[in-house]
Amino acid sequence: MQKTGHSNSIEKIKFEEYTFTLSSHWLPALINGDITGLQDGESEDLDAWLKTIPENGHWSIPSEDDESSFMRDEISNLMSDAYKMSYMVPTKKDISASIKKREESPVCEEVVSSHTRGQR
């Protein structure tokens, strides 16, 4: 192992948490991008709904211990077997700071310069 003279650290990023009640049949599309289980028109409904929430978030995945309940789904507004889902969005302040630090990182500069050398 070779020591490079700089250290990497893991930063704590702050998140805003949103909670939604969502039918279980939306979960493959939300978590994995798999829309094959959606019926005609539902992918358009999902796209329209996604435009109403913040971008670049991360969905929680229900565990085996999480139980669904018969609740009103926030996308279709229909009663269904649904979960309370958390959607975590990094705060813009933390994203900007993290990007700036990565851009200033010697490791990042080495990777970018070696990548651009290979393209010439």
Helix (H, G, I), strand (E, B), or coil: what is residue 112?
helix
For residue 51, being part of any structural domain is answered with yes
For residue 62, being part of any structural domain is answered with yes
Q: How many domains does the chain have?
A: 1
For residue 45, being part of any structural domain is answered with yes
Containing structural domain, residue 53: 15-91
**Would the pTM of this model clear 0.85, i.e. be above it?**
no
Do the strands 79-90 and 15-23 form a parallel or antiparallel pair, or are they unpaired? antiparallel
Q: Cα separation of 95 and 15, whole Å?
A: 10
For residue 22, being part of any structural domain is answered with yes
For residue 6, being part of any structural domain is answered with no
Q: What per-residue confidence (pLDDT) applies to 2?
A: 36
For residue 27, being part of any structural domain is answered with yes
Kindly report, residue by residue over 50-106, the tens digit of the pLDDT. 999 999 899 988 777 788 999 999 999 999 999 999 999 988 765 555 445 545 544
